[in-house]
A = this chain, B = another copy of it.
C-alpha cells in the first residue's frame, strides 16, 4: 500500500511516519491488512527518511497542483494531510493561511478526484472551528463559529472534505484534534504554543512564559494518542461514518493551573516554578474562544481513545524524549 503524508517533515508527520514504518501495514478499505510498500513524505523542507527504503521524500509547495500530482497517483491508497499554517501565523498572514489551509486542501481533494480512484484521505482539524457562546460541553451538533482565520479555514476544509466524500471523489475523514501537548522542539507561531512550552521548557531547565490566566481551560491530547487516532481514523469503516465525516477526537479537559500542578507532581516544585505568568491579550482572545471540552461519544464508539490524565501525558513525554528529571 502506498501512503502519502503531507507536512511529512513536521513533528506529527515524522512521528506518524515512524509509527507506520514500525507497524509495516495498514488496513485497506475492506478492513484487510496490506503491507506498506511506499511512504511518501511531502513537505517544504526535506523530511527525515529514517534510512528506510520504503520512504520517498519530496520537497515542494503543496499549493502547487504539479507538486500534488507528483505525489498522488492512482496507487496512492491513503493520504494523511497534516500540512498547515498554524493559528497565530494564519492570523498574522491572512493570504498565507488561505493559500495553505484552504487552497492546498482543496487542491489535494481535487487531484484525488481527477485520479478517480477514491483514496482514503484524513484531514486534521481543530478546536479552533468552535467559538462564540459555547455550551460547557460542545456537542456533535454544536454549530461552528470560528473566531480566527485558522479556525475558519479548517471549518471550510471540513465542508469540502465532507462534500467530496458525499460525491464519491474521496473516502474522507476529518479528525478534530484537541490541542496537542506536549510537543517537543521549540515554540511555534500557534496561539496554543504555550500549552506545550509551559511543560517542555521547565523540564529543560528553562523559563517558559504563560500568556493566559491559570483558570483557562484547555482540551488536550498527547502526541502518542494523536498518532493512534490518526491511524485508527484512516482505518475506520466508511459505512460507520456515513455522511458525517467529521469526528471530535477524545481529549482531557484541564485548566492551566491543573497542568502546572501535574508538572509539579511529576517533576517537582523547582521545575514548576520556572513558569513566568505574562498575560498576552491576543493569545488569550484566540485560546479563550476555543472549547474546553467536547462530547467524545461518537469517536469512542468508533474505538478512538484519548489520554487518562495530564500527569501521564507528561510522563509519556519524558519517556519519549528521554528527558532526565531531578
User: Among the listed B141, B142, B159, which residue makes an inter-chain contact with A152, where contact means beta carbons less than 8 Å apart?
Assistant: B159
Contact B167 A159 (CB under 8 A): no
Does A149 touch B at the CB level, under 8 Å?
Answer: yes
User: Among the listed B140, B143, B146, B147, which residue makes an inter-chain contact with A144, where contact means beta carbons less than 8 Å apart?
Assistant: B143
Q: What is the bound-complex CA distance between A152 and B145, given in angstroms? A: 16
Query: Which residues of chain A from 130 to 149 have any CB-CB distance to chain B below 8 Å in the complex?
Result: 131-133, 140-147, 149
Does A243 touch B at the CB level, under 8 Å?
Answer: yes
Contacts of A278 in B (CB 8 A): none
With both beta carbons as reference points, the residue of chain B lying nearest to A155 in the complex is identified as B159
> Interface readout for A265-284 with B: 1 if CB under 8 Å, 0 if not?
00000000000000000000
Does A11 touch B at the CB level, under 8 Å?
Answer: no
Does A162 touch B at the CB level, under 8 Å?
Answer: yes
Contacts of A167 in B (CB 8 A): 94, 149
Does A156 touch B at the CB level, under 8 Å?
Answer: yes
Contact B94 A132 (CB under 8 A): no
Residue of A141, A143, A145, A163 most packed against chain B (CB within 10 A): A163
Q: What is the bound-complex CA distance between A131 and B160, given in angstroms? A: 15
Query: Which residues of chain A from 100 to 153 have any CB-CB distance to chain B below 8 Å in the complex?
Result: 131-133, 140-147, 149, 152
User: Among the listed B94, B143, B162, which residue makes an inter-chain contact with A142, where contact means beta carbons less than 8 Å apart?
Assistant: B143
Q: What is the bound-complex CA distance between A205 and B187, given in angstroms? A: 72
Q: What is the bound-complex CA distance between A149 and B160, given in angstroms? A: 9
With both beta carbons as reference points, the residue of chain B lying nearest to A163 in the complex is identified as B152
Does A244 touch B at the CB level, under 8 Å?
Answer: yes
Q: Known A143-B141, A144-B144, A243-B132; judge A160-B152 contact (CB<8 A).
A: yes
Does A315 touch B at the CB level, under 8 Å?
Answer: no
Query: Which residues of chain A from 246 to 262 have any CB-CB distance to chain B below 8 Å in the complex?
Result: none
Q: What's the minimum C-beta distance from A135 to chain B, rounded to whole angstroms? A: 8
Does A166 touch B at the CB level, under 8 Å?
Answer: yes
Contacts of A162 in B (CB 8 A): 145-146, 152
With both beta carbons as reference points, the residue of chain B lying nearest to A135 in the complex is identified as B141
Contact B146 A159 (CB under 8 A): yes
User: Among the listed B94, B145, B155, B156, which residue makes an inter-chain contact with A244, where contact means beta carbons less than 8 Å apart?
Assistant: B145
Contacts of A149 in B (CB 8 A): 163, 167
| 10 A-B pairs (CB sep. < 8 Å) | A132-B243, A140-B143, A142-B143, A145-B244, A146-B162, A146-B163, A149-B163, A155-B159, A156-B156, A156-B159
